[in-house]
Amino acid sequence: MGKYVGFWYIMAALFLTLLWMAVSELVALPIIPSPFKVVDNLADIFMKYIAVHSLYSLWRIAAGLILAIVIGLPLGVVMGYFPKVDRFLAPLVYLTYPIPKIALLPILMLLFGIGDSSKIVMIFLIIVFQVVVAVRDGIRSIPKETYYPLYSLGASFTDIFYEVLWPASLPKFITAVRVALATAISVLFFTETFGTQYGMGYFIMDAWLRVNYLEMYSGIVVLSLIGLLLFTIIDVIEHYSCQWQSK
């Protein structure tokens, strides 16, 4: 990350706000309120109403993400390192990967209830496949000679994991999470319109049904900020854990 990253983020935000302003002036309908009114409204209601919804959404994303890491990472490592396991598991992954996970929502809601668990499992399902495939491919692309000096010193699997497999797959793994996260947030929005009174999805849809466009836009802005926060966290983690890549 360069020195001026913050500056460019502010420029991007400024550009989007100007675009929004222009459109709202052009359309001049309540459905596109001016950004200033929205920010004003947001400052008013954030602590009162929105904060609790955003925390619920963040918790669901975090839980789904952690679950995907805990299950996807070891699976990807094993599939990448042991070709025999991959021969057996790859068809399973390839057959289930392309299924649009959102299509499974009714089934998940029947199995896990309409509460938090079905939403978390949904996010897990979206992220886990990307993690498995990215980690596996990352490990497969390590040249065989990399292992030889370690094997000839009698390295155990634990050594190989900590010294080679984990650091080699980390960048691919972080990229996979980044790509999957955007999808996860959109799908989370959708799942939160069912069976809950909390979450950004619920808040935005509720404001829409109440024809309160100011609140609806406030919710959308918060959702976008949640995304920004998560991406920033991922970037920072990548910066510190994968320094060798940026050199």
Binding residues for other proteins, per CB under 8 A? 143, 145-146, 148-155, 159, 163-164, 167-168, 170, 242-244, 247
Nearest-approach distance from CB 247 to other proteins, in angstroms: 5
Residue 31 corresponds to which tokens in the numbers above? 């459905």
Nearest-approach distance from CB 166 to other proteins, in angstroms: 9
Closer to other proteins by Cβ: residue 1 or 225: 1
Closer to other proteins by Cβ: residue 48 or 247: 247
- Is the four-CA dihedral 46, 203, 35, 213 of positive or negative sign? negative
Nearest-approach distance from CB 136 to other proteins, in angstroms: 18
DSSP the chain: --TTHHHHHHHHHHHHHHHHHHHHHHH-STTS--HHHHHHHHHHHIIIIIHHHHHHHHHHHHHHHHHHHHHHHHHHHHHHH-HHHHHHHHHHHHHHTTS-GGGGHHHHHHHH-SSHHHHHHHHHHHHHHHHHHHHHHHHHTS-GGGTHHHHTTT--HHHHIIIIIHHHHHHHHHHHHHHHHHHHHHHHHHHTTSS-S-SHHHHHHHHHHTT-HHHHHHHHHHHHHHHHHHHHHHHHHHHHH-HHHH-
Nearest-approach distance from CB 235 to other proteins, in angstroms: 18
Closer to other proteins by Cβ: residue 28 or 152: 152
Closer to other proteins by Cβ: residue 171 or 227: 171
Closer to other proteins by Cβ: residue 168 or 177: 168
The one-letter code for the residue type at 158 is: T
Helices 116-140, 51-81: crossing angle, 10 deg rounding:
40
Closer to other proteins by Cβ: residue 2 or 143: 143
Closer to other proteins by Cβ: residue 98 or 143: 143
Nearest-approach distance from CB 152 to other proteins, in angstroms: 4
Nearest-approach distance from CB 66 to other proteins, in angstroms: 24
Nearest-approach distance from CB 144 to other proteins, in angstroms: 9
